[in-house]
Amino acid sequence: MLAVPAALLLVRLTGSDSGTPLAVPMVLFPHSLVLSLLVLGVTAGIRASRSRGVAAAALVVVVAQMWLMVPRFVSHSVTVPPGAPTLRVATVNTDEGAVDPRSVVEMVRAERIDVLAVEQTPSAGLAALDEAGLSALLPYHALHPEYDSSVYSRLPLSGAGTTRIDTAWPQTTARVTVGGHTVRLTAVHTYYPLGDAGRWTGDMSALTSLARSDGPDTVFLGDFNATLDHAPMRSLLAAGLTDTHAELGEGWAPTWPVGTGPLPPLVQLDHVLHGSGLAGVSVHEPTLTGTDHRAVVAVLAVLPVSGTTG
């Protein structure tokens, strides 16, 4: 029983999930802590010498796992100046347009969304969203159903188009102006590691290169098919991005799968990442009817150039 969390810990520490099939079981790294605690609890009270050895090993694994995971449950948010302008963003993978479009429109209305990214939404799905009234709420858009990501906005968009980086398909990009700052948006949908771990890693590497060149006023949001424990995701964050959930100390926010059985969502594949020119104010995960992903809704403050960091 201890071999499973120990093996995942080794993968996590060495980053050997990058470009390999080990990326698939790596999504269970947070769950493996429960198994380690179970082994520790069972063996700690047994006096046999072998059990004491196992208990000691389990304790080492538990401490290492907690050392890696605890920071995401501690808020690292910056001080937001009073009156700082905010950008309310949301992302949802619509599961090939299976989402109930009315639930998307209701979320946008209730959350007062400024920018919405949708992934895996074919042309028919976009038409259904428009018929449900999405364009009336978010009249500006950059729609690329052929490339699996699209952007809707309440604010005028500029520079709308797609990336020219080495991803399986182009990612949709656009810019909005908030409080005098131009914020670049990238609606993300990567390849998935179960299909081709190498292609998925290539997608994440390309996004990392893009993040390095984007500057501080940038937002990457969408379905990354990656958790915070994947090495390629950690590399992307190291390029100057912050995961809003971890920033606010809400590091356990599984978004997938939804509606596939009695179990709740198990892993977080959907994220809102932002550059140092913005700061997370709030984030949560609404459940929408029809899709197998929870949405992610985040409120981001746009910081002044000399904004306080911490």
Judge if 44 and 100 occupy the same domain.
no
> Which residue, among 134, 123, 206, 201, has the nearest Cα to 171 in the 3D structure?
206
Please indicate, yes or no, if residue 80 is contained in any of the structural domains: no
The answer to whether residue 20 sits within a structural domain is: yes
User: In this structure, is residue 292 part of a structural domain?
Assistant: yes
Same-domain status, 50 and 107: no
CA dist 174 and 162 (Å) reads: 8
Task: Please tell me the predicted confidence (pLDDT) of residue 306.
Answer: 58
Mean pLDDT by 10 residues, the chain (310 residues): 94 97 96 91 70 86 96 93 96 98 98 98 98 98 96 98 96 96 97 96 98 96 98 98 98 92 91 97 97 98 68
- DSSP letters, 237-277, are HHTT-EEHHHHTT------B--SSSSSPP-B--EEEEE-TT
Q: What is the pLDDT of residue 225?
A: 98
DSSP label at 223? E
Q: What pTM value is reported for the model?
A: 0.94
DSSP H helices in the chain: 3-14, 29-44, 49-69, 101-111, 123-131, 134-137, 197-214, 231-238, 244-247
Determine the Cα–Cα distance for residues 214 and 239; give it in Å rounded to an integer. Answer: 10
Question: Which one, of 246, 245, 239, lies nearest residue 298 by Cα?
Answer: 245
Say how many domains are in the chain.
2
By residue range, what is the domain housing residue 246?
86-302
* Domain match, 152 and 22 both: no
Output the CA–CA distances (angstroms, integers) from residue 21 to 30, 105, 270, in the order listed.
Answer: 18, 37, 20
